[in-house]
Amino acid sequence: MAQTNEPDKETCAGNCAGCPSATKCDDSRNAGEKGLPPKAKISVKHVVLVLSGKGGVGKSTVAANLAYALANRGYATGLVDLDIHGPDIPKMLGVEDARLQSYDGKIIEPVRVTGSLAIVSMAFLLPERNTPVIWRGPMKMTVIKQFLEDVNWGDLDYLVVDLPPGTGDEALTIAQLAPNIAGAVIVTTPQDVAVLDSSKAAEFIKKLELRVLGIVENMSGFVCPHCNEEIEIFGKGGGEREAKQLGVPFLGAIPLDPEMRKAADEGRPFIIRQSKESPTWKSFDAIMQALVEQIEE
């Protein structure tokens, strides 16, 4: 039922009334008549969605390091990897060999990375690392609900949700089910193509009547380790300009840094791997602080 333009209410009602799938349709325009699904029963103060308009911008890297940074500051933090077809969070956090355990036939124990950080991911359920997940929407919705309600999260301060690129089933489902959504962080890179798609993600969040907590510009410039000259490989400043145009906060820029790639490959979050004197570390810490301030505001 996707439309290129938002129809008026009378047209929408007429289309839905004549549609043979109207009683099963999960379209948000039917939600007013049918009622939205109840919120998941989970004890969490703030749910933070991390999404992007397109892939390859470092969204999962930002989500993993953000969750770790919050946990390091003493917040009880959960991290849900909802990139069902490409679950990379366990690899980035060094727990890719872990498996989810359950008891009483239903309650799932999340994988504990630290005393303050627990995660769930589809990767923990796959028989092999290269096993593809070939699912349609309804299966995704079921597992998303299970990852929220059937997991022994305890009492959380933050639940960070790493979403797949785009504005599809996963993002819509979590927006409907998750309680206490503080808002969304949108990750982009500086070039125009990525910024264009990030603006779509921002508008998607606004249509859901959620807050855009801010835009993060990843891979923003590169400082040569040999001559210290800054090179704008993917450009610079696109995310900040887009934030101003959209009227949403700009949380900060993260330089393109080979050490961040190494940290992900080694399964050690960059936020704890690097020295606090690193410009990239300082950038990321400032983004985390700006995000917490946005939520508390």
- Long-range contacts of residues 137-141, Cβ cutoff 8 Å, at least 24 apart: 137/26, 137/169, 140/84, 140/169, 140/170, 140/173, 141/169, 141/173
How far, CA to CA in Å, does 94 sit from each of 23, 68, 89, 194? Answer: 44, 12, 9, 29
- DSSP H or E segment with residue 161: strand 156-162
Distance between CA 39 and CA 237 in Å, rounded?
38
CA dihedral 3, 7, 10, 13 (to 10 degrees): 20
Asked if residue 168 belongs to a known ligand binding site, the reply is: no
How far, CA to CA in Å, does 225 sit from each of 145, 206, 252? Answer: 46, 40, 22
Distance between CA 210 and CA 193 in Å, rounded?
24
Asked if residue 53 belongs to a known ligand binding site, the reply is: yes
Asked if residue 214 belongs to a known ligand binding site, the reply is: no
Asked if residue 200 belongs to a known ligand binding site, the reply is: no
- Contacts with 102 (C-beta within 8 Å, 6 or more apart), sequence order: 108, 109
Asked if residue 57 belongs to a known ligand binding site, the reply is: yes
Asked if residue 239 belongs to a known ligand binding site, the reply is: no
Annotated binding-site residues for ATP read: 53-60
Q: Which residues are annotated as a binding site?
A: 53-60
